[in-house]
Amino acid sequence: MILKVVLKRGEDGYFVAHCPSLRSCWSQGKTREEALDNIREAVALYLESPSQELAPDESQEVVELSL
């Protein structure tokens, strides 16, 4: 399974990561790599729960651009 993850550097310098397909799936880390490791773990735990389903976050849009 491939899921898109949005990375953004927060005001405190930490990297914030979230998966738009999983509304409540957020994490962070001091480095980009740490944030990605943490969001992988968060996604795995999120998907382990039988009540969770993939659902797009209607409040934002993530698109791929070809240049």
Buried b (16+ CB within 10 A) or exposed e, 27-65: bbbeeeeebbebbeebbeebeeeeeeeeeebeeeeeeee
Q: Is residue 54 part of a domain?
A: no
CATH of the domain at 41: 3.30.160.250
Question: What does the pLDDT read at residue 63?
Answer: 65
Calculate the average pLDDT of the chain.
Answer: 84
Number of domains composing the chain? 1
Per the DSSP assignment, residues forming a β-bridge with 29 are 15
Per-residue pLDDT tens over the stretch 20-49:
888 789 999 999 999 999 999 999 998 887
Structural domain including 44 reads 6-48
